[in-house]
Amino acid sequence: MGRVAGKVALITGGASGLGAADARLLAAQGAQVVITDVQEALGQETAATIPGALFLKHDVRNEAQWQDVIARTIAHFGKLDVLVNNAGLVRFGTIEESTLADFRFQIDVMLDGCFLGCKSAIPFMTKTGGGSIINVASVAALKGISTIPAYSAAKAGIIAMTRSVAVHCQEQGYRIRVNAIAPGAHDTPMTQQALAQLPADAAGLDQVNAQGQGQPEDVANLVLFLASEESRQITGTHIVIDNGETMA
């Protein structure tokens, strides 16, 4: 207990799925948590289940909203120690089926959102001695899945940007660690959407069919580790949590 006691954590896309699991576990281990999401009613409902949690409606594509969310976090809790850039979505379609609008929307939410999160949080983290930024990528960044080219591109960009931001923080002498995680299939609304929309034998679902899915708490345990001082020597890398999906 208390592995992140005294820390303040902001989790985007925290209304459900992986983000909600992250928020619950971080709070259970002593952190004060801020949940942000575009799903206002669901976000408030989730925050109500976590003692002391603050919910803020937040479109991660909007730089002004990022500034507001960070400012309100500081005003409410006094600091920011942990940022989990978790907000995401997927629209299915091969390269021939996808529209440029679909591509840009997914890039905007996930890659632009992650960029804005890092850019907005770093100046505040430096004022209180550092922190940990955890960017949520995906195994889709590491393997070819024909039905999600835009999602894959956004997640691959997150991994590359994570390394760049981590190097910058070290070069500037900031005590801010920046890492990415790459989950495989876990039982979340997004995965349920995929299973509902795609044929059972669709490319990319082989691991789900063969080995089943993980639970959101499995990813939350990794987020907790990276948020805590137990991972103080880990920065600029990505960690895969996929039950062996990418090992072949």
CB 189 within 8 A of CB 213: no
- Note the pLDDT tens digit of each residue in 93-102: 999 999 999 9
Q: Please tell me which residue, 210 or 140, carries the higher pLDDT value.
A: 140
- The pLDDT score that the predictor gives to residue 168 is 98
- Note the pLDDT tens digit of each residue in 167-181: 999 999 999 999 999
pTM: 0.93
- Note the pLDDT tens digit of each residue in 30-88: 999 999 999 999 999 999 999 999 999 999 999 999 999 999 999 999 999 999 999 99
- The pLDDT score that the predictor gives to residue 74 is 97
The Cα–Cα gap between 75 and 130 comes to 18
CB 70 within 8 A of CB 116: no
Examine the residue annotation and report whether 151 is marked as an active-site residue of this protein.
yes
Could you say which of 66, 103, 151, 225 is catalytic?
151
What is the set of domains in the chain, with CATH numbers?
8-241 (3.40.50.720)
Contacts from 189-196 at CB under 8 Å and sequence distance 24+? 189/16, 189/17, 190/17, 190/88, 190/89, 190/90, 193/90, 194/90, 194/92
